[in-house]
Structure 1
Amino acid sequence: MRSDGVTIRRAVVEDGPQLAVIDHEAWSWAGDVMPRPAKDGEYFNERRAPEQILVAESDGLVVGYIRQVPPTPLDSNQHIRQIQGFAVLPTARGCGIGALLLDAAVEAARADGIRRVTLRVLGWNVHARRLYDRAGFSVDGVLPGEFHLDGEYVDDVLMGLSLLDRD
């Protein structure tokens, strides 16, 4: 699979079952703090809605997604979008799909007048951190040993990208 045959689009309710499969298949302690989700679980709920999500589709199959939302319901930080969900099927990794999704999310935020995009990533998730670095995100702070996962204490790395700094 190559990223040149991938379409990025807004999610629809019908994508829910495939998004649940992606969450199940892509899960690992390298990037997740919650237990592995069920393959046949409900993806959309009162906290996760299709309009928050961009999906990557290849040959009619959703192979990845990125979700961004305001970090809180407060009016005072509605100018921020936080990435709170990002996964690519393991069989589709290494093809540039993650970069396409991240770029699309940043451009969607910019089009909505958002000033900054933030995210949290586990310190030991070097692949994701490299992707964010290449996209222009920088480390805003580190919460040392914030999570105890798979027998180890892991840092929570806070990263951000100012949309005012880019053309």
Structure 2
Amino acid sequence: MIPFKIIRKFISRIDPIAIHPEKEKVNIYRFRMEIPDTWDEYYVSSVHVREDNKYRWEGRALNYLEIYLKKENDIQTSLPFTVKDLKPYISTIDRISVCDSQTLCYENYGSIEYVGEEYGNMYVYGFGPRLIDWWDKKHNCLEIISMLEIMVSKEPREDMKVE
């Protein structure tokens, strides 16, 4: 599993985050910098994007990142990690956008299961919830929906080198 103290560096700085430690109450933070070091001893079990209609901004539901944590480390993940390493922790019900950090070109997918093999060995540069234009083929219209955006790179981030 990926330690939360490492994942923390990849979380978007500007998006709200809900931390769900196993067997404890949910903790909500407005920004990454508000997350206390308390969770650094935990490991990430899954990552989701949620919309909360209770809270609205400019007529849209609030989008936030949900991270579920476990105390035990079942599987060790090497660092720096790739999309292939992160994939097992991403919710299969969330739509995904994969963005190349060098070109800023992106591709949208209906689920992490459909993210192509070409991204498997690319390094994760960061991730967070995003509102994205999505063409709904069934209704033949453009929608704005919540997705988990994963920024990728051919080279790992300098601050992710293992010491």
TM-score by length of 2: 0.31
TM-score by length of 1: 0.30
The answer to which structure, 1 or 2, has the higher relative contact order (CA under 8 A, 6+ apart) is: 2
Looking at secondary structure, tell me which structure has more strand per residue: 2
Looking at secondary structure, tell me which structure has more helix per residue: 1
